[in-house]
Amino acid sequence: MTEPTGQRDPDPLSFFQDRFDLDDKRLATALDTALEREVDYADLFFEYATHDSVALEESIVKSGSRHIEQGVGVRAQAGERQGYAHSDDITVESVQLAAKTARAISQRSGRGGSVALAKTGASARDLYAVETPPTEVPVERKVDLLGEIDSYARSLDSRVKQVMASAISQHRQVLVVGSDGTLSADVQPLVRLNVQVVACDPRSGAREIGYQGMGGRFEFDRLCLVDEWKPLVDEAVRIAIVNLDSVPCPAGTMNVVLGPGWPGILLHEAIGHGLEGDFNRKQTSAFSDKLGQRVAADGVTVVDDGTLPGRRGSLNVDDEGTPTRRTVLIEDGILVGYLQDRLNARLMGMQPTGNGRRESYAHIPMPRMTNTFMLAGEDDPAEILASIDDGLYAVSFGGGQVDITSGKFVFSASEAYRIEGGRIGAPVKGATLIGNGPDVLTRVSRIGNDLELDRGVGTCGKDGQSVPVGVGLPTLRIDGVTVGGTAG
């Protein structure tokens, strides 16, 4: 394995030009091919990404992998029609062939065009200044980290019977060439550490799981810091032990308090997707045609921000070469914006917001979230809990389902407690929150002053594509929520 050099990558534009012999003339010629018949826009997306992972279970390394993904995707747009072709062979010939295919899919009669490239759309900022690519860190260092995690977790409580941990790294280089003259490149590191423990009650034999993870676009060495990974393990073990003592959750209509941080996944799923441009252009979102209207309670402000340094969902530029930005979606309860890629922005007469994202060169871009969260309010979290006599405190969520058109959602809480007399009571299991995204925003009655972002583990799925994202939330009181439970 290549040893770390301690030097940052060369300019990613130079990387693609040198490695694949792609000069400006050849890139422009490929775009000209896509533009031989009239199209509104065409682009080339080049990707070269290295991925590696190491996983430990039963105190031994059970698996490890390393692979390289490379390719080019060519897109041509004519009206609402998009043609897309891709190849894992980055050569002038394959790019030309992909361009012809994309043009054929999207073509309409009319004149063609040509493009002159200019370095536009690139951002001068660097949101993830990583010196050593995480995939160049020696595998021995990653194995040692997982071994320390395993030993420490087992030392915390005798009821911990199994520890599963993994370290995942990615080093992605992209180049976007657009028919509007865009020539934009970026290097995108990404790391993630996962810890899952299984605790067993020696009396009943019951087993419960606790999970925690962290990650982002920063040096792998940060994951190796004791002050970073030990609290992660402490929390995973705590959750597993708490779940051993949990009781079945009662069902009914309750006032619910959402904890800060990861519960923002509910905001992401139940509201965020409904604010993406494609759903609103096609009139399939519960938020369609509601710009300027009240869609949430006073004080509710929701933003999507792809410019937060080092965050998992952040990017210097999106996968269409557009600089990311901070986009206010809901301001003091009023819907003020949507998340846009180039296609939907053009068709809706709006500006792209830097939210055109794709899983890889083999996928077409679409509007997606980056880091989505609700801004803090002024309420003391302790006072929010104290304001409820009988309710539910949901600290973390697992899986869920959302219908974008109706806004209906069902989410399962992975850690939750009864609220009794304004105090946190017994932990409960089997709690689910059932509701409607637009409706639940109007039921927000208290907003905490403790906004937190998640630890950097979010992955968003849409139309078969997965991309890294961030979520966040302050402590939140929501009144009259339907809670599904398992209590008889």
Q: Give the model confidence (pLDDT) of 344-364 as tens digits.
A: 999 999 999 999 999 999 999
- Is residue 6 scored above 60 in pLDDT? no
Query: Residue 469: how many CB atoms within 10 A of its CB?
Result: 26
Note the residue count of the chain. 488
Q: CA-based angle 8:315:338, to the nearest 5?
A: 170
pLDDT of 488 above 60 = no
Write down the mean pLDDT value for the chain: 90
For residue range 234-253, what is the model confidence (pLDDT) as tens digits?
Answer: 999 999 999 999 999 999 99
Compute the distance between CA of residue 475 and CA of residue 385 in angstroms, rounded to an integer. Answer: 9
CA dihedral sign of residues 409, 410, 412, 416: positive
pLDDT tens sequence across 26-73 = 777 777 776 666 788 889 899 999 999 999 999 999 999 999 999 999
How many angstroms separate the CA atoms of 148 and 135, rounded? 20
Q: What is the pLDDT of residue 27?
A: 78
- Determine the Cα–Cα distance for residues 138 and 374; give it in Å rounded to an integer: 39
As a whole number of angstroms, the distance between CA 208 and CA 198 comes to 6
Residue with tokens 């799981």: 209
Does pLDDT of 10 surpass 60? Answer: no
Three-class SS state of 296:
coil
pLDDT tens digits, residue range 140-192?
Answer: 999 999 999 999 999 999 999 999 999 999 999 999 988 888 888 899 999 99
Other Cβ atoms closer than 10 A to 246: 18
Place of tokens 């390393």: 66
Instruction: State the Cα angle at 324 between 321 and 327, rounded to 5°.
Output: 140
Lowest mean pLDDT among 7-11, 64-68, 468-472: 7-11
* C-alpha–C-alpha distance, residues 368 and 485, integer Å: 32
Could you tell me the residue ranges of all domains in the chain?
A: 12-244, 252-484
- Reported as a pLDDT band with limits 50, 70 and 90, residue 85 is confident
Nearest to 104 by CA among 31, 34, 26, 28: 34
pLDDT value for 15: 87
Q: What angle do CA 200, 203, 209 make, to 5 degrees?
A: 20
Does the pLDDT of residue 76 top 90, yes or no?
Answer: no
pLDDT at 97: 76
- Rounded distance, CA 302 to CA 126, Å? 25
| Element housing 437 (H / E) | helix 437-442
pLDDT tens digits, one per residue of 278-291: 999 999 999 999 99
Q: Which residue has the tokens 């990613």?
A: 12
pLDDT on residue 236:
97
For 254, phi and psi rounded to 5 degrees?
A: -140, 160
Q: Which of 294, 51, 69, 398 is nearest to 192 (CA)?
A: 51
Classified by CATH at the fold level, domain 12-244 comes out as PmbA/TldD fold (3.30.2290)
* Residue 132, pLDDT score: 94
Instruction: Say whether pLDDT at 274 is over 60.
Output: yes
**What's residue 5's pLDDT?**
43
Confidence of residue 107 (pLDDT cuts 50, 70, 90): low
Q: Using one digit for the tens of pLDDT, what is the confidence trace for 419-454?
A: 999 999 999 999 999 999 889 999 999 999 999 999
What does the alpha-carbon distance between residue 447 and residue 378 come to, in Å, rounded to a whole number? 7
Does position 374 have pLDDT exceeding 80, yes or no? yes
Residue 345: Cβ within 10 Å count: 21
Above 70 in pLDDT, residue 316?
yes
Direct distance between the N- and C-terminal alpha carbons of the chain, in angstroms, rounded to an integer:
57
